[in-house]
Amino acid sequence: MFPDTLIIDFDSTFITGESLDELSKIVLKNYPDSAKHLNQIHELTRAGMEGKMPFDESLSKRIQLLNFHQKDIAEVTQLLSEKITPSFKRNKKFIFDHAENILIISGGFREMIIPIVADYGIAPEHVFANEFIYDVNNCITEVNQENVMAQEGGKVSQAKALRLYGEIHVIGDGFTDYQLKVEGPTTKFYAFVENVRRENICKLADGILSNFDDFIKIVLD
């Protein structure tokens, strides 16, 4: 049976990679030492996802390494729309049919997530993620710190604030997704490994999903 609520992570779960890493590639492509900067951003992403660095610190440090504009968001969103995880793409109808019970809770950014998941029937009000702050020239200056998702433990705080009830499952690849089980309201955490397998996260999970088909088999049994 499909749970009362299914929480799905976005980066490296709904899509094959990390949206901020992809944005970095676009912004830094003409930078001197771009490879060095990209490697720094990748390592900061990995540290945050594996729980080796507080997520808010990882996010802040990545943003500080970049200098980007609103137009870059449109470019990367188009790129990300081509990077939907294969098992999500082939089960689009299933997701669309259950979209009313699906939430996206992500450390990524609403501006990049909403246009992509909308094609799967997931409404903007079901997307909980970070937000950029822009200056008068539409340059991105920082992350909105008033958004709970920008803070350490943001996913847990957001899930608690929603006052979810019943059977609540979460699918994700990172430590912050696992935290929804141990500190938040979710009843089951599935480690999603189609795109990246983090062994320390798999050891903490109630189950390991090689793809989204595995989850469908579980709920239909």
Domain ranges of the chain: 5-17+84-220
For range 1-24, the mean pLDDT: 93
Is the pLDDT confidence value at 29 over 80? no
SS3 of 42-100: the string is HHHHHHHHCCCCCHHHHHHHHHHCCCCEHHHHHHHHHHHCCCECHHHHHCHHHHHHCHH
Give residue-wise pLDDT tens across range 141-171.
888 889 999 888 999 999 999 999 999 999 9
Give the Cα separation of 144 and 151 in Å (integer): 10
What is residue 30's predicted lDDT score, i.e. its pLDDT?
67
Architecture field, domain 5-17+84-220:
3-Layer(aba) Sandwich (3.40)
Spatial contact of 116 and 77, defined as CB atoms under 8 Å apart: yes
At 187 the pLDDT is 96
CA-CA-CA-CA torsion sign (8, 10, 11, 12): positive
Q: How confident is the model at residue 51 (pLDDT cuts 50, 70, 90)?
A: confident
Q: Given a cut of 90, is residue 52 above it in pLDDT? A: no
Asked if residue 167 lies in contact with residue 187, where contact means CB atoms within 8 angstroms, the answer is: yes
Please give the pLDDT value at position 72.
87
Prediction pTM value: 0.88
Asked if the model's pLDDT at residue 43 lies above 80, the reply is yes
